[in-house]
Amino acid sequence: MRIAIIGAGPGGLYTAALVKRLRPGCRIDVWEAGAPDQTFGFGVVFSEGALGGIEAADPQLFARLEAACAQWSRIDVHHRGQVMRNGGYRFSAIGRRVLLSMLRTRCTELGVTVRYGTRAPEAALLAGTYDLVVAADGVNSSTREAHREEFGTEGGTRGSRYLWLGTDRTFTALTFAVAETEFGPMHAHAYPYAPGLSTFIAEVDDHVREAAGFSDRDAGTPGGGRDDEGTADVDRIAGFFAGVLEGHRLRTNRSRWARFSVVRNRRWSLGNIALLGDSAHTTHFSIGSGTRLAMEDGLSLALAVDAHGAVPDALTAYEAERRPDVESMQRTARISQEWFEELDRYTDLGLEAFNAHLVTRSGRLTQEDMPSWSPDRVELIRDRFARADSLLRGAAAR
Ligand SMILES: Cc1cc2nc3c(=O)[nH]c(=O)nc-3n(C[C@H](O)[C@H](O)[C@H](O)COP(=O)(O)OP(=O)(O)OC[C@H]3O[C@@H](n4cnc5c(N)ncnc54)[C@H](O)[C@@H]3O)c2cc1C
């Protein structure tokens, strides 16, 4: 089988590595428009369930990821100079650059070719020469945009603007902070992902942004465009959150004011072209799940390709397995996003009530409440990959 993958983000690379492990005879070609070590953003959070799926599918990759992840167990809510600490959670996070580098290494070890710095030919062209084309080309997917009607694409940008930043303060919890500025409230989500490094996402309403005189350029998404747009506002943001940052600096990495893009598709495949990850669906970053969902899509698609000889059957099985989880997460994410959009309804509450509203905003209290693979499915995943490995070892010995 010949598979073309458009995009070497977490979704594309993980899919390539897993299909190659299950079907070593497959020819897999991956195209990535960017350079190998060039990416947007900082750290991304993983839930416990996400790492469980990776452990079952690829214990080697899991061990490397686990060793590189920062871990913590609290959500801290900062409000009007006070902090409420909520324990009993299990979070881990990793730098996006490190995650991509590990996935790239795994692909190289398994013999997958990734062409960096090269835009993929159009999916419709690839569909004529490859058995399967995977469009893992992100939130602005040109594959999806070329066939919006056929995929039944819905959504668009909405809500307040955010800036994806980093800081050299090592937070010790998933931290939410509100800064009540003279222009109105701003809020930030922060969490650690490596020693001396944390993600810091600042969000602001349009009327506050205008009053504060922040840049009104809308990047649409954090990737692409000029590097310095939005960065001029960063020192002022650091000033507004000085208490939470404890004097540490904010850093930028292709950081530009953007609105969150909602993406939904009535169908995820068209002939032998499949959407995967952000090209198929997005979830607001306040529930930190997009990377995990993209990788879980990759796992599901790899299993489906292995189980079904015929591509149409594999694509039907892939979508049937993934859609319920994804839609459930999208519902949760929408509620979470709306809560933050209406933040000024809650800011006059006392710390305890504010904290309770914030941590229960989506109705799901813990990451364990989030949908993930059932124990039976994890067992099956483990078996399938272990069997593929032993077949490979047998063939190598002969
Ligand atoms: C502010 C913010 C915070 C976030 N925080 C988290 C978090 O904490 N946890 C989490 O799990 N997720 C988080 N996410 C979401 C996460 O970044 C995405 O869901 C994830 O990157 C999706 O992976 P992907 O592989 O589908 O797409 P991407 O990572 O976007 O990768 C797509 C790739 O395709 C390439 N590409 C596009 N078109 C072409 C083409 N024609 N030819 C070749 N290459 C192409 C792009 O260069 C890119 O490298 C966050 C997102 C934002 C915006």
Residues 345-364 have pLDDT tens digits of 898 999 999 999 998 887 76
User: 88: domain CATH number?
Assistant: 3.50.50.60
Q: How remote is the CA of residue 278 from the centroid of ligand 1, in Å?
A: 6
The protein residue whose alpha carbon is closest to atom 20 in ligand 1 is 291
- Which helix H or strand E contains 232, and what residues bound it? none
CB of residue 192 inside a 6 A radius of ligand 1: no
In sequence order, the β-bridge partners of residue 264 are 154
Closest CA to 299 of 137, 136, 162: 136
Amino acid letter, 193: Y
The protein residue whose alpha carbon is closest to atom 21 in ligand 1 is 291
Q: What is the pLDDT of residue 90?
A: 85
Q: Residue 375's pLDDT band (boundaries 50, 70, 90)?
A: confident
Given a cut of 60, is residue 223 above it in pLDDT?
Answer: no
Given a cut of 60, is residue 54 above it in pLDDT?
Answer: yes
Number of H helices, E strands in the chain: 14, 17
CB of residue 288 inside a 6 A radius of ligand 1: yes
Q: Is residue 323 part of a domain?
A: yes
Given a cut of 90, is residue 367 above it in pLDDT?
Answer: no
Given a cut of 50, is residue 105 above it in pLDDT?
Answer: yes
CB of residue 190 inside a 6 A radius of ligand 1: no
Q: How remote is the CA of residue 282 from the centroid of ligand 1, in Å?
A: 10
Q: What is the pLDDT of residue 149?
A: 97
Q: Is residue 302 part of a domain?
A: yes
Expressed as residue numbers, the domain containing 82 is 2-157+259-397
In sequence order, the β-bridge partners of residue 260 are 158
CB of residue 200 inside a 6 A radius of ligand 1: no
Q: Which residues contact 166 (CB under 8 A, 6 or more apart)?
A: 42, 43, 197, 198, 199, 200, 250, 251, 252, 253
CB of residue 197 inside a 6 A radius of ligand 1: no
**Sheet of 70-72, strands arranged across:** 43-47, 91-95, 70-72
Q: What is the pLDDT of residue 220?
A: 56
Q: How remote is the CA of residue 12 from the centroid of ligand 1, in Å?
A: 10
Atom of ligand 1 nearest to the CA of 222: 53
CB of residue 297 inside a 6 A radius of ligand 1: no
Closest CA to 45 of 171, 230, 205: 171
CB of residue 49 inside a 6 A radius of ligand 1: no
Q: What is the pLDDT of residue 224?
A: 47
Q: What is the pLDDT of residue 254?
A: 84
CA-CA distance, 154 to 110, in Å (whole number)?
Answer: 36
Please state whether the predicted TM-score (pTM) of the whole model is above 0.85: yes
Q: What is the pLDDT of residue 221?
A: 52
- The string of pLDDT tens digits covering residues 119-173 is 999 999 999 999 999 999 999 999 999 999 999 999 888 778 999 999 999 999 9
Given a cut of 60, is residue 396 above it in pLDDT?
Answer: yes
Cβ contact 118:112 at 8 Å:
no
Q: Is residue 70 part of a domain?
A: yes
Q: Is residue 210 part of a domain?
A: no
Q: How remote is the CA of residue 285 from the centroid of ligand 1, in Å?
A: 11
Q: Is residue 163 part of a domain?
A: no
Atom of ligand 1 nearest to the CA of 11: 25
Give me the number of domains the chain comprises. 1
- Which of 65-69, 251-255, 279-283, 326-330 comes out lowest in average pLDDT? 251-255
Given a cut of 90, is residue 344 above it in pLDDT?
Answer: no
Given a cut of 80, is residue 69 above it in pLDDT?
Answer: yes
Q: What is the pLDDT of residue 365?
A: 52
Q: What is the pLDDT of residue 216?
A: 75
Given a cut of 70, is residue 380 above it in pLDDT?
Answer: yes
CB of residue 31 inside a 6 A radius of ligand 1: yes
- Top mutation candidate among 37, 54, 137, 176 for ligand 1, by most atoms within 8 Å of CB: 137
Q: What is the pLDDT of residue 49?
A: 64
Q: 150 or 90: whose pLDDT is higher?
A: 150
The protein residue whose alpha carbon is closest to atom 14 in ligand 1 is 290
Q: Is residue 152 part of a domain?
A: yes
Q: What is the pLDDT of residue 343?
A: 87
Q: Is residue 204 part of a domain?
A: no
Mean pLDDT for 64-78 is 93
Q: 312 or 361: whose pLDDT is higher?
A: 312
Task: Please list, residue by residue across 68-84, b when 16 or more beta carbons sit within 10 angstroms of its beta carbon and e when fewer do.
Answer: bbbebeebbbbbeeeeb
CB of residue 95 inside a 6 A radius of ligand 1: no
> Which of 7-11, 325-329, 347-351 has maximum average pLDDT?
7-11
Closest CA to 158 of 363, 358, 338, 339: 338
Given a cut of 90, is residue 268 above it in pLDDT?
Answer: yes
pLDDT > 90: percent of the chain: 66
DSSP codes, 128-144: HHSSEEEE---TT-HHH
Please give the mean pLDDT across all residues of the chain. Answer: 90
CB of residue 137 inside a 6 A radius of ligand 1: yes
Six token digits for residue 136: 């893992």
Q: Is residue 242 part of a domain?
A: no
CA-CA distance, 257 to 65, in Å (whole number)?
Answer: 30
In this structure, are strands 174-181 and 75-79 parallel, antiparallel, or unpaired? parallel
